[in-house]
Amino acid sequence: MDEADDIRKLIAAVRAGDPEATAEFYRRFGPYVRAAVRRQLHDGLRSRFDSIDFVQDVWASFLALPEDRYRFDSQAALLGFLTKVAYNKVVEVFRQRFGTQKHNAGRERPIPAQADGEPLSPAGSPSQWAIAGEQWEHLLRHVPPGHRAIVELLREGHNLEDIARSTGVSLSTVNRVVRRLKDLAGL
């Protein structure tokens, strides 16, 4: 059997789902495809993608080809085709990540982190909400019932003048309630 027949039979067996043929195909050509990907993989993409991601894309593209579309007369021809597919896969992602405004990796900025390394969340975690709720209840227990409307409006973000106007108390009373809250909170 010549080399062209050997390659055609191997490809046909792989397409038919033969696990032994698939293992043989991968053993023969896998290291070359992986090397082709690693040669082309830009440093800016290495932190975002594993070379195996591209290798899997190469195999998927190869297996999706119609059987009659390409004929490989030698291992070298098949290997040349697979390395070209690998090259194209890496270049396509590079162009997408660095050549377009939408996916431009150069515009990315790191997310600020807390002291423990976790990213900051604008909404807060469930435990942070629970702690804030407990602190709020603690403050309300120490505020006279007549001043609770002032405290509620403060929590909603109203300014001191608006609070004084809407509650019908003087600005100095609102300031006194704020000072008392700061003392209670330890600020």
What is the tens place of the pLDDT at every residue in 115-145? Answer: 666 666 667 778 888 888 888 888 788 888 8
84-101 confidence digits (pLDDT tens): 988 888 888 888 777 666
Nearest alpha-carbon partner for 71 in 22, 18, 14, 5: 5
Q: What is the pLDDT of residue 103?
A: 62
Question: Two tokens at 181?
Answer: 């809250």
Give the percent of the chain with pLDDT over 90: 1
What is the C-alpha to C-alpha distance for residues 157 and 144, in angstroms, rounded to an integer? Answer: 20
Looking at residue 6, its pLDDT comes to 82
Q: What is the pLDDT of residue 115?
A: 64
Give me the DSSP letters along 60-112. HHHHHS-TTT----SHHHHHHHHHHHHHHHHHHHHHHHHHSSTT-GGG--PPP
pLDDT, averaged across the chain: 81
Backbone φ and ψ for 113, nearest 5 degrees, come out as -120, 155
Strand stretches in the chain, DSSP E: none
Question: Sign (positive/negative) of CA torsion 122, 123, 128, 129?
Answer: positive
CA distance 22 to 16: 10
Whose tokens are 């431009």? That residue is: 104
Counting beta carbons within 10 angstroms of the beta carbon of residue 85, is it exposed (0 to 12), middle (13 to 18) or buried (19 or more)?
buried
pLDDT digits (tens, 9 = 90+) for 58-87: 888 888 888 777 777 888 888 888 889 888
The predicted structure's pLDDT at residue 2 = 78
The pLDDT assigned to 20 comes to: 92
* CA 108/CA 103 separation, integer angstroms: 9
Q: Give one word for 164, left, alpha or beta, with left for phi > 0 and alpha for psi -120 to 50.
A: alpha
DSSP secondary structure letter of residue 168: T
Reported pTM: 0.51
pLDDT of 12 above 80: yes
Find the farthest-apart pair of alpha carbons in the chain and give their distance in angstroms, rounded.
101
Q: Of the spans 37-46, 76-85, 93-102, 105-114, which averages the highest pLDDT?
A: 76-85
> Which pLDDT score, from 0 to 100, does residue 107 have?
66
